[in-house]
Structures are given as C-alpha cells and as structure tokens.
Structure 1
Amino acid sequence: MKKQCIMFLVCAMAGILAAQEMEKQSSSELTVAESVLCENVEDRTPVGEATTFPETIGKVYFFTAIEGATQPTQIKHVWYYQGNQMADVSLTIQYPRHRTWSYKTILPEWTGEWSVEVIDENATVLKKASFVIGEKQTTEAESETEE
C-alpha cells in the first residue's frame, strides 16, 4: 500500500510539472505574424492603416495576427499615452493562427505620442507599435532631410 501511495504521488507530481511546462511553452512560442494600427476592422481585416491619425479619429484599432498557440491562451493589448498606461485589454487566443484586435477611444485633446504593446501570459512584450494623434511634430533635423 505504501509503494502504491508513493507511485501515485510521483505520477501526480510528474503530471503537474508536465502541465506547467506545457503552459510555459504555449505562451513563449507565440509570435506576432502581423500587426496593424488602423481606423477600423471590417470582416476581420484592418481598414485605414496609418501611424498618424487626426484628433477627431474617435477610435484607433490595433489588429494582430498571432501564431504558435498550441492551446487556448491569453494575450494583452496594453495602450499607452505619453508613457502612461491608458488601457489593458485581455484577448483569448484559441487557434494556431488567430486574428484579434482591440481599440482605444481617443478624446480630441489626447494629442501626441501613443503606443500599444502585445504582451503574453508570461509578461513578455511580443510587439510594440507607436502612433501619433494630431500632426506629428518634426524636429529641425527631420525637416532638413525631407527637403
């Protein structure tokens, strides 16, 4: 009886460790195959791709195609305005290639630099995209290179 209990405990521990390792692998193997900042998403397709949007845009969408999930997992789109976190959107990834998106409502006075990050369950940043609300401010050096 004692041997059976020990064998049961060993098997249970091995199963728990294998499940934990599988969970780590599923998150760490995720990749962002496509990421697009856009004005809308229609029929699972980004519309109006851009990196600069007018103050009157209302909403900016972030479309991502995620690859590598071997089981359902979570990612986040984390939105930042001038370095301050503005939103944290959890998204479930269910398929080996999964298209998903989130959007951030933008008030007209929120002009300037924005970014959004794709973060997996292990808090690893898989992708970062930056955009501007309003006219992009150019430096003197940038102006000279455009001429």
Structure 2
Amino acid sequence: MRKLFAFLTAFWLCLPGATASMAAEGGSLRITEMAVTTKVSRNNPIDAVRRINHRSVPALYCFTRIVNPSGEETPIRHVWYRNGEVVGEQELQVKGQKWRTWSKRPIDRDSIGTWRVEALDSAGKLLKAVEFRIN
C-alpha cells in the first residue's frame, strides 16, 4: 500500500502545475482547536468560555491548536477585540507540524462587553475566530 501511495504521489507531482498547488495546500496552517479558557494546564485548555463574570478570574487565555504541514517556523497573531475595537495583539510562533500556543489577556471591571479573538496567519488571513462575553 505504501509503495502504491509513493508511486501515485510521484506520478501526480509530474503533472503540470501539480507541484505549485501541492505546495500551496501543504504549506497552509490549519487550526484544529481554538478556545478562550480560564486556564491552560499541561498544554491544554481546562474549559471553553462563552460567558464569564469579570470577577471570576484575573485573566483569560486564547488557546490555539495548529497543524502546520510544512513544519517550518512561522508566526500567527491573536487579535483581541472588545465591542468591535482592537484592544490587544500578540504574535505567537508556530515551531512544528503540530503545535499548541496561547495568548493571555488580563480582565477586570473595564473588560465588560462582547469579545472576539481572531487568529491570523503571517499574511493577515483569518484562520479562525472565537467569541465570548464578559459580564
């Protein structure tokens, strides 16, 4: 089965334009999990916040699990919005084919509102977004 797969892959790469399209697909970052959480433990989120009181925790984290087929180091950005306005950005490095990373945002009484965190690739393309509310 492996030999057949290797043969078909080699054959496909010989087709005109196949290499460019495969490189474009193979190099694409993909987010398999993204959650706003109250804590990251053992490199995993402990919960997924949809609504939270500003007195509950001192900070929130945006956890992101990423598949990076190329395996090359590349940055992503977490952009934090409150009521539609950017209130923070953080660049995070993706350093392998399967990677987990997170950004942190302190919360307090002034944090009340509707929130969104967007994950963007190095070209600014939206990979995924999550929304939540702080009361």
* TM norm. shorter chain > 0.5: yes
Structure 2 Cα separation of the partners of residues 75 and 123 of structure 1: 9
- State which structure, 1 or 2, has the greater radius of gyration over its C-alpha atoms: 1
Q: 2:109 aligns to what SS in structure 1? A: coil
Q: Which has the higher helix share?
A: 1
Equivalent residues of 1:26, 1:73 under 8 A apart: no
Given that residues 27 and 120 in structure 1 are in contact (C-alpha distance below 8 angstroms), is that contact kept between their aligned partners in structure 2? no
Q: Give RMSD over aligned pairs.
A: 1.9
* Secondary structure in 2 matching 1:109: helix
- Counting only pairs closer than 5 Å after superposition, residues 12-91 of structure 1 correspond to structure 2 as 25=24, 29-56=28-55, 57-70=57-70, 71-91=72-92
User: Alpha-carbon deviation of 1:62?
Assistant: 0.7
Could you tell me which residue of structure 1 aligns to residue 111 of structure 2? 110
Contact 1:28 1:122 in 2 (8 A): no
User: 1:48 deviation in Å?
Assistant: 2.9
Structure-2 separation of matches of 1:98 and 1:27: 16
Q: TM-score by structure 1 length? A: 0.70
Percent of aligned positions that are identical: 27
Long gaps (5+) in structure 1: 1-20, 135-147
The runs of 5 or more residues in structure 2 that have no matched partner are: 1-19
Q: Given the two structures, how large is their TM-score scaled by the length of structure 2?
A: 0.76
